[in-house]
Structure 1
């Protein structure tokens, strides 16, 4: 079964636009779980433009499914993971000013750095995942870092899917087979939505988790959050 982790960054963005606490990020996380989310994902950035560090500390005591904290592994992120002890830390190579994640790690040139970071995260008892591009050359070095999982960066898949779904998914199937052979757990995320999610799952049925935020929150404006989460769950069950 592929789990659905709901990224609630956009909820925090909406709250921050007016100040105050509406919508309430913690309440939305609890409701999302009640509506069927099997995990909650956040990506706190240094400027706190959406999820704030205080949010993370509140969520760590609230989330009852799998809490996943994404981020660039600087000192502040590592301290946050040490204190929050989420189920999973997902490492992304974003610079602080990035609007959103737009590439995976070069696990060849950053192998030693990632190895040290992952060892520290394991000392905290936290499962690790590395955000990675669908290129085979990065997967064996990823294995050598000691990471538990890799998360496929799926924006290229989502971009090509409307015009050529078979070629869009092909490199992802190739690297997913390799990941399974290497004993790496497999996650996926970025630009997945109600149109392309089922096809990805059908071609890579052994994915452990997908993390979806922007599209899911946008769909919730039309369908409601409870219904939308159930719609995404059904896509993973087709």
Structure 2
């Protein structure tokens, strides 16, 4: 078996901004959190600028791009307003996600099959600007095939249903969702796509999914920020990195 590529950790700082916005001031600062996460071993920073600005703000994105030393992954909906901001900010990557104002968090993958006519010009504009495009989708063959046809170089597999089933102890559902992820990651890699994964991951599920050689990046936020309340953000990043490394090491034993 060929050696699997390194597994990157992207830390999502959205919920540092959620806590800040609860009081309407400037603290805690998500940019400070991003800098600390990078110092502790994060390979990149993810932030979602939502239409309603419920956590990350426009100025946060500008400061993240200016101040961090690692790649910035700009999560956004496919709207004209967000496209203009992304083209102005020029992050390393843009991850296109579905968005509804009434949702608490992103509830599912982007429907790239149903929205391909809308998404195609967005992806083309970002590609032309030198911004890597990632599509946040379910591990569904039709969605993966369309992502490849749309010339998006990256997909991020939505792992929420699997993670929820693991936490709930629903083994049958967890096993079914896991098999979808395994099959989807293999299909995406064979189609020439770079494969990332995220949503709902914790230490246990991150270690498990790290053993899939097709996946090269995990983006994790909410769980890590919750853990950081108890042990600090730097320790949380180091513990997550260790869990991912343990999972990746299993590939060497398989080989």
- The alignment's TM-score, normalised by the length of structure 2, stands at 0.89
Q: Could you say which residue in structure 2 is the equivalent of 1:226?
A: 234
- Does the residue aligned with 1:42 lie in a helix, a strand or coil? strand
Give the number of aligned pairs. Answer: 237
Q: Given that residues 134 and 155 in structure 2 are in contact (C-alpha distance below 8 angstroms), is that contact kept between their aligned partners in structure 1?
A: yes
Q: Which runs of 5+ in 1 are unaligned?
A: none
Deviation of residue 206 (structure 1)? 2.6
Cα distance between partner residues in 1 of 2:103 and 2:214? 31
Of 209, 217, 224, the match for 1:216 = 224
Cα distance between partner residues in 1 of 2:238 and 2:213? 19
Of 17, 31, 37, the match for 1:26 = 31
Of 203, 222, 234, the match for 1:194 = 203
Q: Given that residues 150 and 186 in structure 1 are in contact (C-alpha distance below 8 angstroms), is that contact kept between their aligned partners in structure 2?
A: yes
Q: Given that residues 111 and 145 in structure 1 are in contact (C-alpha distance below 8 angstroms), is that contact kept between their aligned partners in structure 2?
A: yes
Deviation of residue 195 (structure 1)? 2.0
- Larger helix proportion, structure 1 or 2? 2
Q: Are positions 1:124 and 2:132 aligned together?
A: no
Q: Could you say which residue in structure 1 is the equivalent of 2:87?
A: 82
Deviation of residue 30 (structure 1)? 1.0
Q: Which runs of 5+ in 2 are unaligned?
A: 1-5, 247-255
Q: Given that residues 186 and 214 in structure 2 are in contact (C-alpha distance below 8 angstroms), is that contact kept between their aligned partners in structure 1?
A: no
Structure 1 residue ranges (4+ consecutive) displaced by more than 3 angstroms after TM superposition = 165-168
- The alignment's TM-score, normalised by the length of structure 1, stands at 0.95
